[in-house]
């Protein structure tokens, strides 16, 4: 079946936001510290706010608004939040006449802050957050299936762009073909089951849409 829509993850796929979110997290939990290894283990997964509460004693209800405010402040000051090739790829996909959606593990305020900072929002007909599916995060397929329903495209006719291991699992579980990109600051190892692994968004081949 040819591809009729492209659904992309956001953090680590189109926006190099993981390093910014990690910096925001460190600012909020200070004077406590978090290693790169601990943070990287949570990339793409749900439940991070609960982990912060259990580990650092900062309630979820306190951590979430504080880290959101700090993230918005830092992403607005970052000169290059978009991953190299993101804008060009979205323009190529739009020129091919494909509807585009975001399927993100992040909350809507975080998604909106990233899209505003990168000026990528206008490319997407649908923006789906894990908030829209009862906070059922990846590797469950729910947010991808929700995005496909809103686009009115069958999941098997969708191609997903992902960077994380759990994100790849979620898109595959949704029945989509998956391209794994490794252009982020924290790239995951190549994952089984994907259609292709690319080191840069510039390497995306439009022939995959056929």
Q: What is the CATH number of the domain that holds 113?
A: 3.40.50.1000
Is residue 175 located within the same domain as residue 140? yes
Q: What stretches in the chain show pLDDT beneath 70?
A: 79-80
The model's pTM: 0.87
Is residue 89 located within the same domain as residue 151? yes
H-state helical runs in the chain: 18-29, 36-42, 48-56, 60-77, 86-95, 108-118, 142-151, 165-173
What pLDDT shows up at residue 80?
67
pLDDT, tens only, 107-123: 898 899 889 889 999 99
Residue reference for tokens 């990233």: 114
Within 8 A by CB and 6+ apart from 157, the residues are 1, 2, 3, 4, 5
Q: 3 phi and psi, to 5 degrees?
A: -80, 130
User: What's the total number of domains in the chain?
Assistant: 2
């Amino acid at each position: 079946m040819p591809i009729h829509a492209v659904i992309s993850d956001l953090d680590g796929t189109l926006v190099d936001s993981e390093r910014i979110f990690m910096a925001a997290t460190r600012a909020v939990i200070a004077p406590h510290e978090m290693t790169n290894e601990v943070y990287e283990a949570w990339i793409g997964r749900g439940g991070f706010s609960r982990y912060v509460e259990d580990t650092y004693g900062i309630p979820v209800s306190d951590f979430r608004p504080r880290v959101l405010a700090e993230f918005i402040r830092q992403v607005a000051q970052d000169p290059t939040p978009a991953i190299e090739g993101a804008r060009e790829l979205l323009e190529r996909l739009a020129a091919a006449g494909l509807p585009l959606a975001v399927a993100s593990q992040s909350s809507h305020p975080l998604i909106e802050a990233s899209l505003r900072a990168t000026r990528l929002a206008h490319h997407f007909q649908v923006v789906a957050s894990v908030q829209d599916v009862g906070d059922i995060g990846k590797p469950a397929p729910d947010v991808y299936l929700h995005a496909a329903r809103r686009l009115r495209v069958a999941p098997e006719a969708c191609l997903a762009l992902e960077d994380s291991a759990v994100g790849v699992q979620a898109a595959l579980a949704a029945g989509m073909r998956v391209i794994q990109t490794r252009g982020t600051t924290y790239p995951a190892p190549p994952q089984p089951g994907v259609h292709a692994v690319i080191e840069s968004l510039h390497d995306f081949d439009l022939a995959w849409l056929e």
